[in-house]
């Protein structure tokens, strides 16, 4: 049976600075482009039958540099909409809201372009994506190229966990993770693997 391969896009200036990067369309850094190219080696030997990519340019460019044929640009794969916290670091938010934690406390609404999402709303999007790709076809793997927080929520949902338990799955830029099954039950078969 095929597996679900998750690719987090390469580094951006905002990811390096640990800024919440939801809907803002920032490009990869030179390091991020190198991470994306290096993913080719991690994907070698996999029979990829379908690739879905977030509409964000950082994800599309990662897919291109990793040599992935893009079958579908899927708006459901976009990152969590951080609302009024878009572009702001956790440390900056905690100056005004001591102890704030995204997974527990959520976001505040932003402008019309960044209204914000709850973790449950992100979970509903993840469920919709999983409904389109589950189960992976028997003849190969499905690749999703997207973003850290979204892929963490999607992983929680794959495992049948509440969306907020995505907090348990740290995910670095330019990494590959694999979701599969064991005895017919969903499992993680690889996680947060950097490119060789």
CB atoms within 10 A of CB 72: 12
Catalytic residue among 9, 114, 147, 149: 9
Active site residue 9: yes
Please confirm whether the linkage preceding 135 is cis (ω < 30° from 0): yes
> How many residues are listed for the chain in this entry?
196
Active site residue 92: no
Catalytic residue among 3, 11, 33, 79: 79
Contact between 144 and 4 (Cβ < 8 Å): yes
Task: Give the list of residues 6+ apart from residue 123 with CB closer than 8 angstroms, or none.
Answer: 153, 156, 157, 162, 163
Q: Which residues are known catalytic residues?
A: 9, 79
């Amino acid at each position: 049976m095929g597996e679900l391969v998750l690719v987090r896009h390469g580094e951006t200036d905002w990811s390096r600075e640990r800024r919440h990067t939801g809907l803002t369309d920032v490009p990869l850094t030179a390091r991020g482009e190198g991470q994306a190219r290096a993913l080719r080696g991690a994907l070698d030997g996999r029979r990829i039958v379908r690739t879905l990519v977030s509409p964000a340019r950082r994800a599309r460019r990662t897919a291109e540099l990793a040599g992935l044929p893009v079958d579908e640009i899927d708006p459901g794969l976009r990152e969590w909409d951080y609302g009024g916290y878009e572009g702001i670091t956790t440390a900056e938010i905690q100056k005004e809201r001591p102890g704030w934690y995204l997974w527990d406390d959520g976001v505040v609404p932003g402008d019309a372009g960044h209204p914000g999402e709850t973790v449950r709303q992100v979970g509903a999007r993840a469920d919709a994506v999983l409904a389109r790709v589950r189960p992976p076809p028997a003849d190969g793997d499905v690749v999703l190229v997207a973003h850290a927080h979204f892929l963490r929520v999607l992983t929680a949902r794959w495992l049948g966990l509440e969306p907020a338990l995505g907090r348990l799955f740290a995910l670095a830029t330019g990494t590959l993770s694999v979701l599969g099954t064991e005895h017919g039950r969903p499992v993680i078969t690889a996680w947060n693997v950097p490119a060789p």
